[in-house]
Amino acid sequence: MSGVVFLILLLLGLPLAFTLIASGMVYFAQNPELPTAVAVQRMVAASQSFPLLAVPFFILAGHVMNCSGITKFGNSRRGNAGPNPRRANAGIRAE
C-alpha cells in the first residue's frame, strides 16, 4: 500500500521529499506492531547518508555559481572555462 501511495503522490507532482515522508508514514501506520522508536531511528539514519546529502549540496553549489556569474566566464562555444593555453603562449617561441 505504501508503494501505491508513493506512485500516486509522485504522479500528482508532489516533491520527492514529501512523497517519501508520506509513503513512510503510511507504511508505519499499517504496521502497528513496529515500535515508534524504530520509525524515528530509521528516518534519522536515512537522513544521515553522505551520498544522499551530497546531491542537495551540489545543486546548491551550482545555484550559487550561477547567481555569482562564475559560470559565464570562458568561451561558451568551445565549452572551456579558462583561457586557451595555445593563445597564452603564442608570443613565446623556442629558438
> Are 62 and 47 contained in the same domain?
yes
Query: Distance (Å, rounded) from C-alpha 42 to C-alpha 49?
Result: 11
> Are 28 and 41 contained in the same domain?
no
Judged by average pLDDT, the poorest of 8-12, 23-27, 41-45, 71-75 is 71-75
pTM of the model: 0.43
- Identify whether 86 is part of a domain: no
Q: Give me the mean pLDDT over the 20-25 stretch.
A: 87
- Identify whether 22 is part of a domain: yes
Which residue range is the domain that position 62 belongs to? 35-75
- Identify whether 83 is part of a domain: no
pLDDT band (50, 70, 90) for residue 7: very high
pLDDT value for 64: 92
Output the furthest CA–CA distance in the chain (Å, rounded): 84
- List, as one string, the DSSP characters of the chain: -HHHHHHHHHHTT--HHHHHHHHHHHHHHH-TTS-HHHHHHHHHHHHT-HHHHHHHHHHHHHHHHHHHTGGG-S-TTTT-SS--HHHHTTT----
Query: Distance (Å, rounded) from C-alpha 83 to C-alpha 45?
Result: 45
79: phi > 0 → left, psi -120 to 50 → alpha, else beta; which? left
- Identify whether 69 is part of a domain: yes
Mean pLDDT rounded to a whole number for the chain: 78
Does the structure show a pLDDT above 60 at 82? no
Per this entry, what is the length of the chain? 95
> Are 3 and 17 contained in the same domain?
yes
> Are 50 and 71 contained in the same domain?
yes
> Are 6 and 17 contained in the same domain?
yes
In total, how many domains does the chain have? 2
